[in-house]
Amino acid sequence: MKRTTLVLSLGLMVALAACKGKNKTENADQQTTSEQQADNSTPAASTPANEPKTYQVAFSPDTAYLGKTKEAFVRVKSGKAVELSDADGKVTGTEITYELEVTNKNQVGGNGIFINPGDFRLQLDNGNNLTHDNYNTLNVDAESTKSSENKFRLPAGAKPKTLNLFYDETRVSVGVELK
C-alpha cells in the first residue's frame, strides 16, 4: 500500500511538472504571437506614402517692437511649412503658414495701429524677396491684441532666410529656419 501511494505520488509530481512546462511554452508562444501582431500593426500607424512633407518653422527672435515709439509689439508664432507637389509627385514649392500676433502698446484713448502684412518681405537663401501669397491686415485698438494667419508660397528648392517686418517707417528682421 505504501509502495502504491509512493508510485502514484511520484507519477502525479511528474505529470504536474510536465504540465507546468507546457504552460510556459504555450504562454511564450502566445507572447511571441502578440508581439508579432503589435509589430505588424506599427507600419499601418505610420504616415501614408502620399502624405506631403511638413516642417516646423522657427523664428528667431520670435518677438519684435515696431513703430517710431515702439508702439507695436509683434509676435511671430505657430510656423508650419508644407511641401507642395503636382499629381506626378514632383515638388512644386513650399507653403509657409504662420500666425502674426500684434499688441498695441498705446494707452487707452491713444491711437490704434494698422499692420499690413502685405508690406512684409520674406528673403530667400538665393537673395530673392517674396510678398505674401495670402494675408490678413490687423487694425489693433489701444491696449489690445489681435492676430491673423498669413501664408508665403516659396518656389521649389528655395529655403527661407529672413522675414522683414515693416511698420511706420521702421524695419525689423527676423530669422526663419525650417526644422
Interatomic CA distance for residues 129 and 82, integer angstroms: 19
Q: Is the pLDDT of residue 8 over 80?
A: no
Give me the residue label for grid cell 507600419. 43
* pLDDT band, very low/low/confident/very high, at 51 (cuts 50, 70, 90): confident
Q: What is the pLDDT of residue 55?
A: 95
Closest CA to 52 of 6, 12, 83: 83
Q: What is the pLDDT of residue 37?
A: 52
Average pLDDT, integer, range 38-64: 74
Interatomic CA distance for residues 75 and 123, integer angstroms: 18
| 27 three-class SS | helix
Interatomic CA distance for residues 17 and 33, integer angstroms: 25
Closest CA to 72 of 13, 2, 142: 142
Q: What is the pLDDT of residue 47?
A: 54
Average pLDDT, integer, range 37-49: 52
Joined together, the cell numbers standing for residue 137 give 491686415
* pLDDT band, very low/low/confident/very high, at 89 (cuts 50, 70, 90): confident
Length of the chain: 179
Average pLDDT, integer, range 77-91: 93
From the centroid of its chain, how far is CA 74? 22
Average pLDDT, integer, range 124-132: 95
Q: How close are the terminal C-alpha atoms of the chain, in Å?
A: 83
Q: Is the pLDDT of residue 91 over 60?
A: yes
Q: What's the pTM?
A: 0.70
Joined together, the cell numbers standing for residue 90 give 514632383
- H helix intervals, the chain: 2-45
Give me the residue label for grid cell 500676433. 101
